[in-house]
Amino acid sequence: MRGEGLIKTFTFLCAGSSILVVFLIFGYTLSEGLPVLMKYGLSFLTGLHWKPYADPPQFGLLPTIIGTLSVSGLAISIAAPIGILAAIYLAEYSGGGFFKNLIEPATQLLVSIPSVVLGFIGLVFLVPTLAKIFGGWGFSILAGGIVLAAMTLPHIICISSDAIRAVPREYRYASLALGASKWQTVRRVVLPAARSGILASIILGLGNAIGETMAVLMVIGNPEVPYIPTSIFDRVRVLTSTIVIEFNYAVWGSDQMRALFAIGVILFIITAAVNLLAFHILGGRIHAKEI
């Protein structure tokens, strides 16, 4: 019996350590980033100029935030329609056949490709190709969006197809028995019933895209002075890439270093909010099914 108690305590400590790590990281990031956030206030988020080496330095994050949103937004608008249609195929049309057994593992494999490899392929293949087609350097929102779309696609496919499969089979029978075609059944009954799961997959994909660093960093160009992009062919910075690029040069304890931590806080909040939102929607799925 005493052994039981020991094991319970030990496993509890291990489980608790993950919470501890989260709090330590967030606490540390917050303590480093908060002074800058306090000092520059709202202008940190809405300022147009990011000039850490100017005197006095300027920390305006708006162009970077817009860069982040445009790259992630583009990625999702590419990945969501493809992902949902792929999920419909896998869940409704493949019938467990050869292609399903080919596509599902391939999708899983796409997840396991290290992001730096995807970024590298983007750098040596996608960027020059875009440059050839559209002119310019090729480093762009478009390049980042395509690379990120490839990274978020498997998540969208996986969660959406699960959501579609979770729709009770009886609904399909009831619809078919009224003379509806398969596609009518999918469009009018199955997809509406699975909409919360599909929405959650898109939101989670968006969260992934916003937090992703390496792959996107390598193909978006990261201009020295960030500016608000006016087309998808513009180079941009994103929140994550700004941290990676500048922390090598930032002096420890300087406002610049603290500003990078503040970016970390913002990223943390955004991704946490996105994840919470997705889980909230997924949790409501059972009720959503009954309208």
Partner 1 sequence: MAMQVKKTLLRRALEYKPILKSEKLNVWYGRVHALKDVDVIIPSKRITAIMGPSGCGKSTLLKAFNRLLEVEGARVEGKVYFHDVDIYSDSVDPYTIRRKIGMVFQKPIPLPMSIYDNVAYGLRVNGVKDKRLLDEVVRENLEKVGLWDEVKDRLRDSAFNLSGGQQQRLCIARALAVEPEVILLDEPTSSLDPASTKRIEELLKRLSGDYTIVIVTHNVHQAMRLAERVVFIFEGRIVEQGDAEEIFKNPRSILTKAYIKGDFS
Site membership for partner 1, residue 289 (CB under 8 A): yes
CA atoms of 79 and 205, how far apart (whole Å): 9
Q: Which is nearer to partner 1, 176 or 214 (CB)?
A: 176
- CB-based contacts of 200: which residues, under 8 Å, 6+ apart? 159, 163, 278, 279, 281, 282, 285
Does 174 help bind partner 1 (rule: CB under 8 A)?
Answer: yes
Binding status of residue 93 toward partner 1 by CB under 8 A: no
Would you count residue 177 as binding partner 1 (CB under 8 A)?
yes
Per CB under 8 A, the list member of 184, 247, 273, 283 interacting with partner 1 is 184
Nearer to partner 1, 172 or 237 (CB): 172
Q: Which of 250, 242, 248 is nearest to 221 (CA)?
A: 242
Residue closer to partner 1 by CB (options 135, 179) is 179
Tell me the two tokens of residue 73.
């937004």
The radius of gyration computed from the CA coordinates of the chain, to the nearest angstrom, equals 23
**Binds partner 1 by CB under 8 A, chosen from 175, 201, 222, 256:** 175
Q: Is residue 170 within the footprint of partner 1 (CB under 8 A)?
A: yes
Q: How many CB atoms lie within 10 A of CB 187?
A: 13
Q: Interface with partner 1 includes 290 (CB under 8 A)?
A: yes
Q: Could you say whether residue 192 binds partner 1 (CB under 8 A)?
A: yes
Judged by CB under 8 A, the residue of 179, 225, 251, 253 near partner 1 is 179
291 binds partner 1 (CB under 8 A): yes
171 belongs to the binding site for partner 1 (CB under 8 A): yes
Footprint of partner 1 on this chain (CB under 8 A)?
170-181, 184, 188-189, 192-193, 289-291
